[in-house]
């Protein structure tokens, strides 16, 4: 007896309907088996709040803090309460450092802080930051002078930060 499986004619002619039904049934059964096997496995249970710890013993793990969830909405940075002015600085070169940013603004007065916003995963600058200056008149002078100024090949955008609190 010569028994050879030939699948070329399976989806042709009178075999079409039984073949489609067989394929659909195989898919559904496969999904059911995956669900059953997945339900028995406690893989990743340590990262899911409310589920029992692996092995079914002990307490469920504590929910993660907001710092562990990079895509969760966070509270905005609070407005300065000491009368200082926070300045948003955008369209910065990705190579600019906080020290270079501080030096640009120190030409117009005292700077409390200069910080660049960085991507948490890569550690690279996102191209914007904030500068805090204690004297409003100096801050206004700096914003007026530095807005649209070309620094490191990009026109820097400056304005008073809009704190949303």
Nearest to 89, CA basis, from 151, 32, 1, 41: 151
pLDDT tens-digit profile of 105-119? 999 999 999 999 999
pTM over 0.75: no
pLDDT band at 2 (very low <50, low <70, confident <90, very high): low
With contact defined as beta carbons under 8 Å apart, do 139 and 161 qualify? no
CA gap 106, 148 in Å, rounded = 17
CA distances from 144 to 45, 104, 140 (A): 54, 13, 6
**What are phi and psi for residue 133, nearest 5 degrees?**
-120, 135
Provide the CATH topology of domain 85-160: Alpha-Beta Plaits (3.30.70)
Range of lowest pLDDT (36-40, 77-81, 142-146, 155-159): 77-81
- Where in the chain do CATH 3.30.70.330 domains reside? 85-160
């Amino acid at each position: 007896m010569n028994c050879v499986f030939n699948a070329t004619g399976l989806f042709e002619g009178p075999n079409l309907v039984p073949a489609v039904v067989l394929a659909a049934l195989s898919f559904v059964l496969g999904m059911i088996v995956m669900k059953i096997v997945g339900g028995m496995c406690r893989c990743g249970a340590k990262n899911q709040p409310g589920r029992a710890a692996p092995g079914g013993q002990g307490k469920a793990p504590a929910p993660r803090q907001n710092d562990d969830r990079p895509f969760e909405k966070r509270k905005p940075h609070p407005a300065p309460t000491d009368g200082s002015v926070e300045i948003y600085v955008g369209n910065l070169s990705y190579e600019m450092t906080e020290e270079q940013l501080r030096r640009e603004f120190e030409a117009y007065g005292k700077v409390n802080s200069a910080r660049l916003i960085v991507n948490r995963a890569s550690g690279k600058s996102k191209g914007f930051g904030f500068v805090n200056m204690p004297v409003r008149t100096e801050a206004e002078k700096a914003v007026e002078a530095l807005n649209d100024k070309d620094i490191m090949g990009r026109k820097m955008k400056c304005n008073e930060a809009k704190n949303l609190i």
